[in-house]
Structure 1
């Protein structure tokens, strides 16, 4: 897709964004989110933006990105050009990470996934439960948070691979624990109290990825002037982390609208491996855009 000059950002209008990762084909769940963002932008005379979240360079491909453009165009959606690609903004994420480092809120984390898994298994074999985040993943152990700076530098000098994590306790000492966000979606509404501690010391950057989802979307939403974040209910709890990062980095706070999910036959949210619900497959079967709106309840 040919690039065009970046237009001047218009931050005086409502702005909505649809942000797929090009690591598979879009399905009905993506259609619901994209259409909602598009229609809400049109209704408010706002902007509809498309963001390609391609931080995972190993799994994201140009072919899937082009397929997303075809599917969204077929649905009759029109977005501002050019598209915002996260792979073109790694320096922005690094700058945000550096700022948090300068504030003393970030530490290198050396434990591998395998080591964490083994630690959790050993702990739970004794009959004790290991704390887990809202997605069910075990919280990262505290070992690295308590390492001395000398020990950290020795490990880095030896070439030990590491991620960078946010020290949640230090961060909340700066912001306080009274974080809230405004919610207008399909679940709870109104002023929602954020509980970022539920996520533990979240990853901000990995050795194989220059930024995490949490950090990059927070930086991107501010840079793009997003006023309304419309996304699935599966990301409702993650908003607590984004609100914390917004406060730490002194970024504006959008309004949040978490919408219902489209579930598969197994009762779980759709995945990109669900070929039967893929937009391209449905198009090939003769479905029209208005049929897709009907299938997602619009």
Structure 2
């Protein structure tokens, strides 16, 4: 068996480090595929239709929301300004839900938190999103609810919800998820609803904390952390080799891993 030695990576024994590295590579590759890295940020003025939602949005009852009007955008979107008429007695600080469904961009628009500091929910249903990263959500420490279903997201890195400890409700169904980072839900102690239905690597709806712990989390590990690559929580003996379904070889000689250039792209492509 030929072992390619054109590119060597000295990899830490920490499975978390390896997983994070893989996801960074994968997300970069995916971003190039959709062209998002090649584009520049596109600044817009958000025209908000303010109103109190009748009923619930996830765990939020009758939240005051800003629904941003549709307008042509491209690439990554930055909210430069916000206009619109508030209900009587309401201000930007009362906005609990940002509805960005009409903004058809690769990612959740940045800059929202600067205008709406108390956002507890993001509604991005069917809005052509392809990427969801920690940096898209870290500005919302009060976030309890996100609906980003029916989009085109293919991966979720380990730290995507790291800065959202108040999260209670996640709907990421009907996407194209192939890979999910280690312990992606670890920080979410209040989470009681998580819909990962109709994705490439998983089709699972957890309606309470018991379902999340007993069913969803184990299936994320078994089905979405081993897609076309070995599970990196497993110890590989020195000299051992692992063949992936792409027929590439990892040579685990002591603590050095040797791969062919383009290996990650070919695996995840």
**Which bracket does the TM-score occupy, shorter chain normalised?**
under 0.3
TM-score w.r.t. length of structure 1: 0.23
TM-score w.r.t. length of structure 2: 0.25
RCO higher in 1 or 2 (8 Å CA, sep ≥ 6)?
1
